[in-house]
Amino acid sequence: MNHDQPGETAGGAGVRNACGEEELARLRADLREAVRAQEQLQVELRAAVSELSETLGRIGATGSQRSDPEYLRLERRLRTVEEDLKLANGQLRTILQSRIWRTLVAAGGVLLGFARTTPRK
């Protein structure tokens, strides 16, 4: 075995570990961002649904047509928020199902297993 090759030295393992930690930190940041975006979209969706319900109640009470400009505006807004929510959910699902994420989770589980079996002083 030639110890002069990259990755064969103890320092090479440290570099690989640092790269893995950087990737894990980046993935965690991406996941936090996706979760925040999803939560924000859910808040917006709830507000839009509430506003739409109020408008529908007024339309029903006044006998207005579906061509009411306020109704159409709310309907468009609700569709936009729903599309954004689906996009955020898709992004979150993509992150959680990525090979890198699953590999890092599995590696973390193995490391936690070692940490639990290692006697503490």
Considering only residues 11 and 52, tell me which one the structure prediction assigns the higher pLDDT. Answer: 52
DSSP label of 120: P
pLDDT score recorded for residue 73: 84
Has residue 69 got a pLDDT over 80? Answer: yes
Q: What Å distances lie between residue 19 and 12, 16, 80, 81, 106, CA to CA?
A: 11, 5, 38, 37, 17
Is the pLDDT confidence value at 83 over 50? yes
Give CA torsion, residues 10, 16, 22, 23, to 10 deg.
-160
Q: What residues have CB less than 8 Å from 98, skipping those under 6 apart?
A: 27
**Single-letter code of the amino acid located at 41:** L
Regarding pTM above 0.75, the answer is: no
- Report domain extents, the chain: 12-112
The percent of residues above 90 in pLDDT, for the chain, comes to 0
> What's the rounded Cα separation, in Å, for the pair 91 and 83?
12
